[in-house]
Amino acid sequence: MIRREKGFTLIELMIVVAIIAIIASIAIPNLLSARLNANESSAVATLRNISSSQQQVQASGAIDCNQNGQGEYGFFAELSGAQGVRTGNPDNAGTVTIGTVRVSPPVLSQAFGQVNATGHVVRSGYVFRMSLPSTTKGFLNEPALASAVQVSPSNAEVLWACYAWPATYGNSGKRTFFVNQQGDVLSCVNGTRRYSGTGAAGVVPAGNAAFVATATSMSHSLAVNATGADGERWSVVN
């Protein structure tokens, strides 16, 4: 008795492979787009949470370097309780150091205490950077943990700024976002600058990127529905 083995012919296998390829070509871009949208939405929500946290810590007076009773805004490491708050008063020729007193309870999650060597925090495909003002209201970016920069206490009572941009442009996100003490989250399509990543290989926004073209300090006007100093058009996120 002769047994015949049954199976797929080469043509049938080629048809199946072609169908799978067509499905993949449709599904993969949709999945990537969904991930980008999710990461961008998460970045906006995070910036709004950061804004609330800054208002909370400033109102509590937990950071008060010049001890004038007016609270100051903080870096991620301070807001998350990862290190002590600043002490010292550069406004009176003093020197800022890292103290032993911490914000308790922290106003940001412990994840924001994971500040890397370049002063950035990476979460959900986005890079976050906090800046506080110098005595001339210039942009002082957050340093690595256990490091200090000469933040002006009087200016830090009223000024701060935070950017969020994709960890990998086109893969983890596209748009770049910004928020400061005014509370509105701004965004740009990031089509020209293509901010992405950190360190020497990254393209990161300058401190005045979301400000008007002539801005040289944190007290200048933002580029709301206008072209910023970086050449990108910035608008309010609804």
Task: Give, for all 238 residues of the chain, the pLDDT tens digit.
Answer: 555 556 667 776 777 787 777 766 666 666 677 788 999 999 999 999 999 999 999 999 999 999 999 999 999 999 999 999 999 999 999 999 999 999 999 999 999 999 999 999 999 999 999 999 999 999 999 999 999 999 999 999 999 999 999 999 999 999 999 999 999 999 999 999 999 999 777 899 999 999 999 999 999 999 999 999 999 999 999 8
Q: What angle do CA 86, 151, 68 make, to 5 degrees?
A: 65
Report the pLDDT value the prediction gives residue 159, as an integer from 0 to 100: 98
Give the model's pLDDT for residue 233: 97
pLDDT for the residue numbered 24: 64
* Cβ contact 65:86 at 8 Å: yes
- The domain spans of the chain are 11-59+116-236
Give the helix ranges, DSSP H, for the chain. Answer: 10-60, 76-79, 153-156
- Read off the amino acid at residue 25: S
Q: How far is CA 219 from CA 19, 32, 50, 155, in A?
A: 58, 38, 19, 9
Rg (CA), the chain: 24
| CATH of 11-59+116-236 given 3.20.20, 3.40.190, 1.20.120, 3.30.700 | 3.30.700
Q: Which residues make Cβ contacts (< 8 Å) with residue 81, sequence separation at least 6?
A: 102, 103, 104, 105, 106, 110, 113
